[in-house]
Chains A and B, each alone.
Chain A
Amino acid sequence: MHEGRLIEFDRVSFAYSSEPVLEDLAFGLYPGQFVGIVGPNGAGKSTVLKLMNRLLAPSKGEVRIAGRSVSEYSLKELARLIAFVPQEPEYFPFTVRELVTLGRSPYRSGYGSVSPRDAEIVEEAMREAGVVEFADRPVDQLSGGERQRVTVARALAQKTPILLLDEPTNHLDIEHQLHICRLLQAKANAGMTCVAVLHDLNLVASYCHEVLVLDLGRLVAHGAPGGVLTPELVQEVYHVHIPDIRHPVTGRPVIAP
């Protein structure tokens, strides 16, 4: 293994029965990065996330977290290392605080009640995700953007070094999209590793430290967005032609037809 890699894919392949989804993926991610995973529909982006937290097991190769194969961790240990925001979270009429408190369950033994420390962490997570003002409202009465932030708060309450998010900005308006991306960037700058499947290349270009580009189950590029998201790559992967434009202030790529 390579020193310092928090997440490592060692020649990982994955197939559903005989249908190959990912082939021979090899990369490493370091702590404190906001990593975007991009690629066309069906490229295997969500599968990469699910291999990281063992929702799926590789058919070949090994996924390592902090130097150890994910298969060697207990589920509870894994839940203290990796939090996950799924693509379509389900909601029940819990209050926001109740739901975010469920994020503490990997730390609670069986029937223990919520400790003051847990309550503090929950408040902090709600503050970071910007959901404090509706802490006592039932989740099913909130808007889509608010719910998404609640789910992020629940994941933050897990206090994990790694946060995985599957299309967290889907269905959100631009304000909420930017809010989530800025939050992830800030968490990464504070040492967390955030890995998000994102569709919007401009969000990736503006906020991510690194980008993984997948196409047809293979990793075709990995690096800083400025060097990776070139017109040539977009042409190759998405089959669309874009001019080479840079943001006048940040100098990062702008993806516009």
Chain B
Amino acid sequence: MRTRSGVLRGVVLLAFLLVSILVAAAVGSVAISPVNVGRMLLSRILGFDSIERTWTAAEELIVMQVRLPRVLLAAVIGGGLSAAGVLFQGILRNPLADPYIIGVSSGASLGAAAALLFFIPAGLGWYGTLPLYAFAGAVGATFIVYRVGLMHGRLHPTNLILAGVAVGALFTAMVSFMMVFKIQNLQDVYMWLMGSLSGRGWRQLGAAAPYVLAGSAVAVLFAPKLDVYLLGEETAHSLGIDVQRLQKQVLAIGALIAAACVAVSGVIGFVGLMVPHAVRIWIGPKHTRLTVYAFLAGAIFLVVADTLARTVFSPIELPVGIVTAMTGGPFFIYLMRRS
């Protein structure tokens, strides 16, 4: 019974995601009907030549080159951050864990800020090598935190969290330090620190999606082990799980997903903390379902949030990180009070 209703919920979520992608690609300063967006996709992507062109060339350009890649990127990043949140909350056995807890965001911020302030000409950040700098920073910080958290060859979740806080504070201070002395490009740095998908396209999608999708798929494969791990390290060991190896593998996968997300979008907060919790309240703690549903729910959430970010105060765009915190925070409090 549980399984069947579980699958049904998954289908409902998937349908929601597809609808939200169509609607999000239709909404904007030039309004296009979602039906036409759907027809466009069928004709362009699936190659149905028989579909009558009920849209203009300009509309097609807007959807295919501007909106669709950004909407898909929002889906991938929202899903990836949520799947990574599930991994970190599970392996650190800490409900406050999020994808950034072991230094991914502060490292990426340092890499991105250094690039924007010193290496990349103003306004060109998103067309250049910025994601590479951010990704390198994220991986570097994660590695430092990992080394600090490792004691006598063993990982201790508490040490790891404390190391993440310490390294995070250090790197954040270094970013602020740089921002005091270099003031050109500050706007870009601010946008980055708050998390934004503005101006992103196929290129960023192509860069992040392989890591995020492959990482999330592997995360699902680790789900049964994470279920056992929830019973405690000693119990997991006695059920045949190499706890140390599992911790290292899961941290590596989570950090990779989070680094790929943060590299192209900046620090979009709250998604990776809230979505796993909300989904856990909804469907329970079993990780197979939890990972899949959190990915889908996170994708929907960020697609909607990013659409709000670019339309509500149009032509001004908000960093989507502000929208996720402003809408997600109250919703999260409501969920917690209710359950």
Contacts and interface: CB of A to CB of B under 8 A. Distances in A.
Nearest 10 pairs of A and B residues by beta carbon: A79-B240, A84-B238, A76-B240, A90-B232, A106-B240, A86-B234, A92-B230, A75-B240, A92-B285, A105-B239
Contacts of B241: 75, 105
A79 B238 contact: yes
Contact of B286 (A82, A98, A103): A98
Residue of B93, B234, B241 contacting most chain A CB atoms (<10 Å): B234
B278 interface: no
Contacts of A105: 224, 227-228, 239-241
A169 interface: no
Contacts of A102: 227-228, 231, 239
B11 interface: no
Interface residues of A, number: 34
Interface in A66-91: 74-76, 78-80, 82-84, 86, 88-91
A110 B227 CA distance: 12
B337 to A, nearest CB: 17
Contact of B235 (A74, A80, A84, A93): A84
B284 interface: yes
B231 A99 contact: yes
A78 B240 contact: yes
B48 to A, nearest CB: 35
Given A102-B227, A111-B221, A86 B240 contact: no
18 contacts: A75-B241, A75-B242, A78-B238, A79-B240, A80-B240, A86-B232, A90-B231, A90-B235, A92-B230, A94-B227, A94-B284, A98-B286, A105-B224, A105-B227, A105-B228, A106-B239, A106-B240, A108-B224
A53 interface: yes
Interface of A: 50, 53-55, 74-76, 78-80, 82-84, 86, 88-95, 98-99, 102-103, 105-106, 108, 110-111, 154, 158, 164
B53 interface: no
A90 B237 CA distance: 13
Nearest to A94: B285
A46 to B, nearest CB: 10
A91 B227 CA distance: 11
Contacts, number: 73
Interface string B210-239: 000000000001001001101110110111
A82 B235 contact: no
Nearest to A158: B239
Nearest to B230: A92
Size class of B's contact patch? 10 to 19
A70 B303 CA distance: 52
A103 B238 CA distance: 10
Given A94-B285, A102-B227, A82 B221 contact: no
Contacts of B242: 75
A16 to B, nearest CB: 11
Contacts of B234: 50, 55, 84, 86
A83 B239 CA distance: 7
Contacts of B231: 89-92, 99, 102, 154
Nearest to A164: B238
B293 to A, nearest CB: 16
A69 B231 CA distance: 27
A154 B236 CA distance: 12
A79 B235 CA distance: 10
B232 A89 contact: yes
A221 B91 CA distance: 42
Contacts of B230: 90, 92, 94
Residue of A78, A79, A108 contacting most chain B CB atoms (<10 Å): A79
Contacts of B240: 74-76, 78-80, 105-106
A76 to B, nearest CB: 4
Nearest to A91: B231
Given A86-B232, A105-B241, A111-B224, 14 more contacts: A53-B238, A55-B237, A74-B240, A75-B241, A75-B242, A79-B239, A93-B284, A94-B284, A94-B285, A95-B284, A102-B239, A110-B224, A154-B231, A164-B238
Contacts of B227: 94, 102, 105
Contacts of A93: 284-285
A37 to B, nearest CB: 17
B239 A89 contact: no
Contacts of A99: 231
A89 B237 contact: no
A221 B209 CA distance: 64
A94 B286 contact: yes
A55 B285 CA distance: 26
Given A93-B285, A94-B284, A98-B286, A83 B228 contact: no
Contacts of A83: 238
A78 B237 CA distance: 10
